[in-house]
Structure 1
Amino acid sequence: MIGIIVEEVASTGPGIRFFQLYVYKDRNVVAQLVRRAERAGFKAIALTVDTPRLGRREADIKNRFVLPPFLTLKNFEGLNLGKMDEDVKWLQTITSLPILVKGVLTAEDARLAVQNGAAGIIVSNHGARQLDYVVKAAQGRVPVFLDGGVRRGTDVFKALALGASGIFAL
């Protein structure tokens, strides 16, 4: 199915709504949030996995750009952020809602998401820098959506041409 989905996570309007969440060490809190989302009528859970990782930015690679030490993601050191495969499998035990993995930035993460039962992938790549790699890695087994970086209609067409199943845009 190829389509354009215009949706806001916290929308109260009509349309398909998904509940975006992070899985933290205290899974009891996450379980409560999932139950609340189910009661509120959300149709899917979007497990966000991209916070501690930067995307593949070709200009940064070409220019050998490295974040200065004071800007690295040190605030995530020592935290138990979980692993995507464990988190997907755990969420499947507490909800019947489909689990979408949001923020996939690499082909390897796309393969892991598919292998671990994700119902779909949302690429939060802010400009279509990873979409083609992720679509190829998903091998048509799950839909791949684009979230972020959509500034004009041509961005939508580019994403669809690269294999996106749909686009989330505000």
Structure 2
Amino acid sequence: MSAPVVFEDWMDDGACSRMPTFTILKLTIQQRLCGDCPVRVECLAYGRQHGAEGDVWGGEVITRPKTEQRTCPQCGSQFETTPSSQRRFCSSRCGGLFHSPPKQQPAPPRPARRAPSTCEICGTGLPHQRRRYCSRECWNRARALAVKPVTTCEGCGTSFTPPRNRPTTARFCSRRCSNSRSRTRKDA
């Protein structure tokens, strides 16, 4: 049902002003009638402000979206929105505050660096903490002083130092002992 129309001056110039008020036209005819109307803009503005839902004003059907009240989860204020809207917050500021991570405490200060270490062989200071020796010479001396594992050969029974790449798995002192051992197994 149409709301009562408050008469305004521009309405006399409208294309529909010459139509009798009781004439009910089809929607398409009403919209076509508004197409060439000289006061279409004013009519549409009036209809959006005062027209009832379903009325034609300025060539458009007036619709009023249904609204609902929602509560902003950030600030708790009420705001109005349409039921189909996915809007959860009253403003973009509240949305940003809600989704931003809480402020972190500043990181604790790093522990002080350890004092520079010294060479394990000669005792001179080292520039880097990861190094154990000050020079290649000290490294070679450390290798010479290192206790090397000694293993007994299963072929001939002599003691030998296994190679560095397999210190625990070496069973023979030489290839000849290894081959002689494999021959004795084949013969048996």
For the superposition of Structure 1 and Structure 2, which TM-score range results when normalised by the shorter chain? under 0.3
Q: Which has the larger radius of gyration?
A: 2
Higher relative contact order (CA 8 A, sep 6+): 1
TM-score, normalised with respect to structure 1: 0.19
Larger relative strand fraction:
1
TM-score by length of 2: 0.18
